[in-house]
Amino acid sequence: GWKYAISTTIINFNNEKMQITWAARELFPSKNVSFSYTFDEGKTKIWKPCPTYLLDQDYNSGCLFKTEGPTLAMSIRNSNGSEELFSKTLKSDFYIKPNPPENVTFFWKADTVTVSCKKPERAVKCLRLELQYKSKFDKDWQSRTSKCCSVGEQGFDPRKCYSFRVRLKRLVPYCNVVNYSSDWEAETFWMNGTLLDSCDDDIKSQSNTVIVLSCLLAVLLMMLILLILLCKWQRLQKSVMPAIPDPKYVFTDLFSDHNGNFQEWIDKTDHAMTQTKLEYEEPECIIEAESQQEDEKNSDKQGPQEKIFTFSRAAENNDSKAAQIACLMPTSSTMGSFAGFQILMNDDMYVML
């Protein structure tokens, strides 16, 4: 009876390869054993030696071989095969471990995610598709299982990044005596229907956004401070150091007409000033005095309240014998001295009273 009590681990990989393992050091200390198997049924069996041994510290601890039928018979013997140490017959279909799902697709709509995979060629009724997911705020995986080969779940927040993984499971006890599931398909990361490299990218992107906004705010604040300081500096500069006028705006003709040639400009300016002076220069007053006595007599006769000034028209008739005063009309600066006087005009003279 001890031959059937030895603990072994039996795995049928997708009904393609068989793996039988045992605890070599505990069951057969200091011994090396051999393994043989057959998928033949009935009295006539052809035993095959193990093609590939699994080792544990140089001791045979398992065998890997091809799956060739639904019924497996195996035997463990001593190193030379003369003594059988363990034997067992089993249904290989009850130990199937499926392959990971293939061609996995994700469909995200609103808050619902639907995951599908390629339909296996055999034993679809014995398979279930399991979906696990968690957000970056969850510690544990959330699980959802459905018939092969589609599973859906609701309640996903489009603002969160989720990790997804799927695998296939065999039904127990209807199809398997051992609860075998496939390896997990590669983990993927999704956010609102967008595939990401990892959920860390979402955290980094948010951090980068915060950093960029902070930098922009700091730059705007610095520009505002600089603008205020510049305005204050301009006011201070105007009050302490008044602006020196630019000569090119004061002396426009120096730069526009003479291209900055100061000597040429000053010569022309002096000439223009001379012309103006000559044009507006008052002619000399020519006074031909008659006898002082006659003037005094006339002045005595007229009294102190009236004074008669005789302006001869000698400039026109060239009469040099008569006493004359040829002057221009008084300018604005001398008009005050002539206030209250009247001018009388005769044929030969002007009389100012």
What CATH number did the domain enclosing 68 receive? 2.60.40.10
The answer to whether residues 129 and 166 touch, using CB atoms and an 8 Å cutoff, is: yes
34 and 103 in one domain?
no
Among 54, 49, 55, which Cα is nearest to 37's? 49
104 and 83 in one domain?
no
Sign of CA dihedral 186, 187, 193, 197: negative
92 and 104 in one domain?
no
In degrees, rounded to 5, the angle at the alpha carbon of residue 295 between the alpha carbons of residues 290 and 300 is: 170
Q: With respect to residue 326, please indicate whether it lies within any of the assigned structural domains.
A: no
Q: With respect to residue 294, please indicate whether it lies within any of the assigned structural domains.
A: no
Which of 72, 96, 120 corresponds to the end of one domain?
96
143 and 85 in one domain?
no
Which of 196, 216, 247 corresponds to the end of one domain?
196
44 and 26 in one domain?
yes
67 and 126 in one domain?
no
> Over 60: is that where the pLDDT of 115 sits?
yes
> What pLDDT, in 10s, does the model give residues 220-231?
888 888 888 888
Least confident residue range of 177-181, 200-204, 281-285: 281-285
Q: With respect to residue 282, please indicate whether it lies within any of the assigned structural domains.
A: no
Which residues span the domain enclosing 67? 8-96
Q: With respect to residue 1, please indicate whether it lies within any of the assigned structural domains.
A: no
User: What was the pLDDT predicted at 235?
Assistant: 75
User: What was the pLDDT predicted at 217?
Assistant: 87
> Over 90: is that where the pLDDT of 53 sits?
yes
106 and 90 in one domain?
no
With pLDDT > 90 as the criterion, what percentage of the chain qualifies?
34
pLDDT, mean over the chain? 76
Round to whole Å and give the CA distance between 115 and 208: 32
73 and 55 in one domain?
yes
User: What was the pLDDT predicted at 208?
Assistant: 59
* Beta-carbon contacts of residue 155 (< 8 Å; ≥ 6 apart): 111
> Over 60: is that where the pLDDT of 339 sits?
no
Among 36, 74, 72, which Cα is nearest to 53's? 36
Confidence of residue 350 (pLDDT cuts 50, 70, 90): very low
Q: With respect to residue 247, please indicate whether it lies within any of the assigned structural domains.
A: no
DSSP-assigned letter for residue 111: T
176 and 89 in one domain?
no
Residues in the chain: 353
Round to whole Å and give the CA distance between 258 and 249: 14
Q: With respect to residue 311, please indicate whether it lies within any of the assigned structural domains.
A: no
Among 17, 54, 49, which Cα is nearest to 35's? 49
The mean per-residue pLDDT over the stretch 154-182 comes to: 92
Which of 96, 127, 145 corresponds to the end of one domain?
96
> What pLDDT, in 10s, does the model give residues 15-27?
999 999 998 888 8
Residue 71 CA to its chain's centroid (Å): 65
Residue in the block written with tokens 């605890």: 23
Among 43, 11, 4, 7, which Cα is nearest to 181's? 11
- 3-class SS at 276? helix
Q: With respect to residue 163, please indicate whether it lies within any of the assigned structural domains.
A: yes
Which CA distances in Å does 38 have to 13, 187, 216, 243? 17, 39, 75, 110
The answer to whether residues 42 and 68 touch, using CB atoms and an 8 Å cutoff, is: no
153 and 83 in one domain?
no
The answer to whether residues 156 and 113 touch, using CB atoms and an 8 Å cutoff, is: yes
Number of structural domains (the chain) is: 2
Top mean-pLDDT range of 12-16, 253-257, 298-302: 12-16
Q: With respect to residue 66, please indicate whether it lies within any of the assigned structural domains.
A: yes
> What pLDDT, in 10s, does the model give residues 157-170?
888 899 999 999 99
Looking at the whole model, is its pTM more than 0.95? no
Confidence of residue 61 (pLDDT cuts 50, 70, 90): very high
156 and 116 in one domain?
yes
Round to whole Å and give the CA distance between 181 and 325: 139
73 and 29 in one domain?
yes
With pLDDT > 70 as the criterion, what percentage of the chain qualifies?
65
Residue predicted with more confidence, 176 or 136: 176
